[in-house]
Amino acid sequence: MENKSNWTWFLELLNGDLYLIDGRGLVVISDQLIGLLQFVKDILPHVEHRQCARNIYANFRKAYTGVELKKLFWAAAMSCVEGDFKRHMDIIKKLNPSAYEHIMSKEPQTWCRAYMSTGNACKAVENGISECFNSIIVDARKKPLIIMLEEIRIYIMERFAHMIEESTKWNTRICPAVLKKMKLFGKNMRFWLVIHSQHVFEARRGCNRYMVDLDGRYCTCRLWDLAGIPCVHAIATINYIQQTPDEYIDHMFSKEKFLKCYFANTSPVNGSNLWPQTEFVKPLPPVSRRMPSRPKPEGIQECNQGTYPYATKEERKERKEQCEPNQASCDRFERQEHIPMLPKKKGRTRKEQFEPTQASCDRYERQEAVPMLPKKKGRARKKVQYDPNQASGSKFVKSKRKLGINL
């Protein structure tokens, strides 16, 4: 149960194991646990508390959906300067004023980069690391307490040993994942013009201008201060003076610090056969109790099923003798003799099986074919119908002359 006493007990143990002292340089990201903020301040007064932006957006999109609002929300969360944050929020306010009020009520100082403190080498606005760990132990969390802790311990041992083995293959002072991220930051550095001004530089692109101080490892865009990795303006400036950007990465991302994190691995544990014997009573499983809901009706069991799933062979045999032999699933039930069916012939059926009335059968008595007259060649003439009642017909005139009728 998440209450004040349990959180206080957990934070005190965490403070003692990791030597956090008063929480300086420490960042805690929670999933909108309002009560946790006060508990953390009591044990670690100088810690920085942040909220997970992904959880805030998950609650936000339940009431306000749309791709445009989604892009504006994450653009506002990723803004490293307060001016950029306010500009994105003004666009949201014009689109939907109620959505603007909802976002501003969630304390942007705890999930926006523009209000985060610098010097911690942490620019995260969501607790993706803990979510990755939860996805690994999702099956172990469904098991009893001791088995769950045992599987988590084994995973951590294998994880630590694997990371130490992988670090031996590195040939650089900085972790390869950090170098890959730095290259991603400096993808568009060719578009930035660098102007030298004594000990500081100015990086400009159109109307955007930022001051870069390489000695103080500072850029007015605040991304270098938050992440500990040079931003695109700093990388353009470092290339301008013909130096390597690896030297300006924070020492927290060095190989030495990485090995220090994975150095203290979990020790192996002996089995129960090597545990010392005690006079205490062995713990027993909890007593089963009736649940508050309505009990489910017991299913009808077959005669040879027994008490599922813990039926023994003798129990099934005894239950089989007590049943009445009227069930089809019982072995004592007198069943009718099975009449074997003739094997089905392979291939296509023969024509003799068809009735002799079908045209496709050879036995069907067909009528003799009447030979047709050969078709005349040439164009067919039009048949003219003569009307004998018409005076203009030549056939009618000739017939009148033969009869001696004067026309």
Q: Give the mean pLDDT of 102-117.
A: 91
- The answer on pLDDT for 172 being more than 80 is yes
- The answer on pLDDT for 286 being more than 50 is yes
- The answer on pLDDT for 257 being more than 50 is yes
Q: What is the 3-state secondary structure (H, E, C) of 340-367?
A: CCCCCCCCCCCHHHCCCCCCCCCCCCCC
Q: Decide: residue 141, CB within 10 A, 0-12 exposed, 13-18 middle, 19+ buried.
A: exposed
The pLDDT score that the predictor gives to residue 264 is 83
The pLDDT score that the predictor gives to residue 385 is 55
Peptide bond connecting 309 to the previous residue in cis, omega within 30 degrees of 0: yes
* Cα dihedral across residues 12, 16, 19, 21: positive or negative: positive
Least confident interval from 47-56, 72-81, 332-341 = 332-341
The pLDDT score that the predictor gives to residue 256 is 92
The pLDDT score that the predictor gives to residue 361 is 52
Give the residue with greater pLDDT, 294 vs 176: 176
The pLDDT score that the predictor gives to residue 320 is 60
The pLDDT score that the predictor gives to residue 307 is 46
Question: pTM for this structure?
Answer: 0.64
Tens of pLDDT along 291-332? 788 777 765 554 444 444 556 667 766 666 665 555 555 555
Tens of pLDDT along 67-91? 999 999 999 999 999 999 999 999 9
- The answer on pLDDT for 212 being more than 90 is yes
The pLDDT > 90 percentage for the chain reads 34
The pLDDT score that the predictor gives to residue 271 is 86
In sequence order, what DSSP letters do the residues of 313-329 get, joined into one string? Answer: HHHHHHHHHHS-TT-TT
The pLDDT score that the predictor gives to residue 44 is 85
Give the residue with greater pLDDT, 152 vs 356: 152
The pLDDT score that the predictor gives to residue 231 is 92
